[in-house]
Structure 1
Amino acid sequence: MTATAAHETTGTSPAQDAPVPPPRTAARRRRRLRSATGLAVRYALLTAVLVLTVGPFLWQLSTSLKGAGENVFGYPPQLLPENPTLQHYGGVMETVPVLRYATNSLVVALGCAVTNCLFGSMAGYALARMRFPGRRIVFGVFLATIIIPFESIMVSEFLIVRSLGLGDTLLGVMVPLAVTGLSVLLLRNAFRGLPAEIEEAAVLDGAGEWQRFWHIALPSVRGTLSVVAIFSFVFAWDDFLWPLIVLSDPGNYTLTVGIQYLSGTFTNDQRVIAAGTMMAVIPLLALFFCLQRYFFRGVGEGAVKG
């Protein structure tokens, strides 16, 4: 019996027996709705974080460029100045020796970046690649220094610096920041990610511990070294409390301490104060934008490995 005859006998048609594609189910629609809702929430959170982080900087930048007749505290805030001017930056230069203070900050920041890379890499290599009694205890001590508030130890640090004869000097500002627990932790993780076979091959070739560190291990963690250098530079440049405690001679002030003079001299002119703030922040932004490629590569190098 042919297919046509069979359909005539049963009273059905070929079209009725064909499989019908399933309709879009409610579960699939719910999944798509949840995905769209999650994407919207993520973008909303990113936007909120962007406003909280970038908003104050943009407001300060706008205030530093506003003319004398523009309202600084108006609501809603006006980010675009009507008559932009740079005269407030000139006012900062006339009030405080910005170049001298910036030079002092540069000396301290570069010194801290170099010492953190040097001493931090030595300590990180010893904790990651060398075996000695008490290694875990030493590493725990380094970790503890990260969570200890500076305010709880600043008096003892000041007494130590003063007893060393380094009070009111830039070197005294640098000493407590010469190496930090964060630098040691980042470099330790980076050194732990190095293949053991490379070091074993160097041992067979007769390389000593210092040669393995200097010629093999250190060049392999250049990305993490750049991260440590950036962190150390930014923290030392931006530090205010410790230089304020150590330094008493205005000629030795760093930029962040020297800028405080603006609040006393121009109490009612927030435009000049904002201009001084921008002069302290803009070098950090320029540094980060120039080295951001090494920064992100080094963050991945120190975080994924080890």
Structure 2
Amino acid sequence: MRASLSAIRIFEAAARLGSFKDAAGELGLTSTAVSHRVRGLEGDLGVDLFRRSHRKVELTQAGAELLEAARAAVSLLDNAIDRISSETRSVTLTTTPAFAALWLAPRISEFQAQFPNLSLRTEASHTSIDLERTRGIDAAVRYSLSTSSEGQLLVRERFKAFASPGTFARQAETRSVAVLSYRWRSRGLEKLALDAWETALGQHGSLKVISYDDEHHAALAAVSGRGIVVLSDVLAQHLVSSALLEDVLPDASIPGHCYRILVPNRTQADRDTQQVVEWLHDEMRSLRT
């Protein structure tokens, strides 16, 4: 016998989210309707797909096997529908606000020129999203510890001191150096970086610290000539190549973390998502050498 596609889609959502209630919310159904369709599917197949308890549902071995196939089937259907319903296709990428603003945004026009029928949408957040449970996100660029093994490595970073052309020389001459600080996401790395540059920059005069909320705000303040920012060379790459910032201490740097690309199981076979992944790798090659 053949199960209905609608029942498979409902099962996939319930299995992925681990909740009939959450699946109902995603699909615009009632929890009762989801439970009824799953019961009907189990009856048609003659096996239990879930172990039910008071607060949650868990997949049985048969359910886990069906989920693997259902994910691929739902992904293929959604991708085909997207292509049929619109000439312009889209891939949604989640990443940090700084990566989105400083690395990705300046390259969007190049991406569009290379892929004129593919739209790259960005969701910027410091919150780490569960890609397997969240529909609508096709891939993620994550800032990770250098020892992390999740996803595919895009690039390893180094932190360096940057300022707009001539700013450091002027401030060193007056013996008053402004350091543009920001709220670091890695406390251990923050202390290492700031201690290193306090020593290096302090040789050129007294230090005045100006604080910003996020690293891309501090980077843009450095572009306007406010002072020196200690920034990842990954995030500074476009600003340096555009001559908006310069490396003020070329011989000084410290290792940071890395950026990795993660793709959920449901979009790994998607051609558009893979094109975005390959493009990201291609764009990062200049930083790996």
What is the TM-score with the length of structure 2 in the denominator?
Answer: 0.26
**Greater helix content:** 1
What is the TM-score with the length of structure 1 in the denominator?
Answer: 0.25
Higher relative contact order (CA 8 A, sep 6+): 1
Select the structure of larger CA radius of gyration.
Answer: 1
**Greater strand content:** 2
